[in-house]
Amino acid sequence: MATFALIHGGFHGGWCWDLLVPELQKRGHRAVAPDMPISDPTCGNVDYAAIVIDALDDVDDDVVVVGHSQGGTTVPYVAAVREVAKMIYLASAVPFPGESFAEFLVANPTFLNLEIGESDDRGCMVIAPEVARSTFFDDCPEDVAAWAIARLRNQAPTPIAEVCSLTEFPKVPAEYIVCLDDSALNPEACRELAHDRLGVVAREIPGSHSPFLTRPSELADLLAALI
């Protein structure tokens, strides 16, 4: 048995894993899916990682950290503090010591395809419902997409703008999963990222950026197989 620490991406919350968690449980695993403080501009990846580590406080079996989208920037911070068996990046960023994700995006302009609206009064990014529908949830049924969009939150730019403060990348086995029909991240750019930063050949799953909502059983099978 393993415990999956599920780190949601930007604008989301722990709710986005609600369909995946029972599928992992059916396969004999446990999962924690905490909410990250994404609307607090004072919080960065160290703060996000601390929340994940707290959620794992009573866990004594193997821990597999899964980061989706922006959540990938937090994954190695968890592995740098707490012993984990594997890091899995799901259609996500992979941070690099001494570089911010914003700098990576400038150097790799085809990686991300996401239109952000105006910022709120705290400087948090706002995503329009129609943009979320077309980039995050484009192959979700209408009811599932509406349920998800209603729960989105504004996203502080802090974890994206801050330079990765790790002195080295954790020496932990890693995997990368590409969503083949991803509208938010360029699948080919994700494959290159997996090869260049993790030294792995990316695994693949059909569908859009949110397989935890559209293919939770298939995603659970893949995650279980990767451990």
Please check the confidence at residue 104 and state whether its pLDDT lies above 90. Answer: yes
Residue appearing with tokens 């929340």:
51
pLDDT digits (tens, 9 = 90+) for 166-218: 999 999 999 999 999 999 999 999 999 999 999 999 999 999 999 999 999 99
pLDDT digits (tens, 9 = 90+) for 121-171: 999 999 999 999 999 999 999 999 999 999 999 999 999 999 999 999 999
Kindly state the average pLDDT of the residues 65-73: 97
Q: Which domains does the chain show, CATH number per domain?
A: 2-226 (3.40.50.1820)
CB 43 within 8 A of CB 51: no
Q: H or E element: which one contains 12? A: none
Q: What is the pTM of this model?
A: 0.96
Distance from C-alpha of 192 to C-alpha of 195, rounded to nearest angstrom: 5
3-state secondary structure of 149: helix
Q: Percent of the chain, pLDDT > 90?
A: 96
